[in-house]
Amino acid sequence: MKIKEIIKKSHAGDPFSKDELVQMLSGPPDSAGSYLLMAEANRISKELTADRAEIHAQFALNLAPCPRDCAFCSFAQRNRIFNEETRISPKQAIHLARQFEADGASAIYVMTTATYPFDLFLEMSREIRRNLKPETTMVANIGDQSRANAQKVKDVGYAGVYHALRLREGTNTSISPKARQRSIHNFLDAGLGVGTCVEPIGPEHSNEEIAEMVLFTGSFKPSFSGAARRIPIPGTAMARLGMISELRMAQIIAVTRLGVPRTVIGNCTHEPCTLGAMAGANLFWAEMGANPRDTTGKTEEGRGESVKSCKDLFWEAGWSTWDGPSRYYPPPLAS
Ligand code: SF4
């Protein structure tokens, strides 16, 4: 299929097949055809959001060696970056959440490693919720959960979760793909929005694998999809596989936008970058505290972006930004 035909099909809003997505992913990222796909994805993302990109913001309740051992994560036990657990206090958590709220983040994500005690997560979440404006969107980024626990996540005031079936789940992680998929459905069944992403993309992933994952993310009516490259954690086995360029990631962001139904208005990327925004990303994350892609416990002093710097990156790429609670997740419960 010629690029012109792909653009025509996209204008008509027709769904693309896996083979068509593979074809889009197969062109050189710096070719005219790839730039046309990026322009089309940008057009769609702007149309769906009235030209207002969102900035969400994440902090972690703990930093710990995690036994789920995802090879790409700085918390993984096998990577030996962090050898002891540290947890933040309710006061520190409230401070970080309120800081993000004051900075204008459209959603606040509370992250934990997979073995953080679930009851403690709920207790901390209740405290955070009580100290935020009722309309502020809260999102949980936690491990796999049963249907009953998913309900508890909703009941403490979360609008949604971030949960992804990662590329080569079960091979590069100790978690079965089925467990991730089951959790996604448990969260959805509880009435939570599920934001997701094609991640973490490395140079070894084939266009077929990426296309399949694009279609999977679009299959369950997520709050947003998107694409994120793997950030190498220095000294780890996975770092030796290298990293894709920002331009290749931009190409994949564009193909993800084209491959996911238009009923899904959000298209994220991480880490924030102007090429991503140019290629149709309409969601970036700011971060503070521990971060699974960083080797410092305070990512605001490392790789993490602030709400302000995310806004600036969108501006550089010709985007306006949204002020107010996220439109990608359903409204939060009253506290
Ligand atoms: S990605 Fe999550 S589950 Fe995997 S090692 Fe890191 S913290 Fe644990």
231 conformational bin, left if phi > 0, alpha if psi -120 to 50, beta if neither: beta
Residue 291 confidence class, pLDDT cut points 50, 70, 90: confident
Assess whether pLDDT exceeds 80 at residue 126: yes
Distance 325 CA to ligand 1 centre (A): 28
pLDDT digits (tens, 9 = 90+) for 1-36: 899 999 999 999 999 999 999 999 999 999 999 999
* Separation CA 10–CA 13 (nearest Å): 5
Q: Which atom in ligand 1 lies closest to the alpha carbon of residue 74?
A: 6
- The DSSP annotation for 92-155 comes to HHHHHHHHHHHHT-SEEEEE--TTS-HHHHHHHHHHHHHTS-TT-EEEEE-----HHHHHHHHH
Q: What are phi and psi of 281, to 5 degrees?
A: -75, 135
In a mutational test of the pocket of ligand 1, which residue from 61, 70, 82, 116 has the highest number of ligand atoms less than 8 Å from its CB? Answer: 70
pLDDT at position 330 is 74
pLDDT at position 125 is 98
pLDDT at position 331 is 53
In 3-state terms, what secondary structure has residue 198?
strand
User: Which whole number is the average pLDDT over 232-240?
Assistant: 94
pLDDT at position 1 is 82
Distance 69 CA to ligand 1 centre (A): 6
Amino acid identity, position 252:
I
Ligand 1 within 6 A of CB of 198: no
Ligand 1 within 6 A of CB of 48: no
330 close to 159: Cβ distance less than 8 angstroms? yes
Assess whether pLDDT exceeds 50 at residue 112: yes
Assess whether pLDDT exceeds 70 at residue 333: no
Ligand 1 within 6 A of CB of 152: no
pLDDT at position 332 is 42
Q: In this structure, what token pair is assigned to residue 175?
A: 């978690």
Kindly state the DSSP code that residue 286 receives in the 8-state scheme. Answer: E
272 close to 312: Cβ distance less than 8 angstroms? no
Q: Which atom in ligand 1 lies closest to the alpha carbon of residue 143?
A: 3
Assess whether pLDDT exceeds 50 at residue 271: yes
User: Which whole number is the average pLDDT over 184-212?
Assistant: 98
55 conformational bin, left if phi > 0, alpha if psi -120 to 50, beta if neither: beta
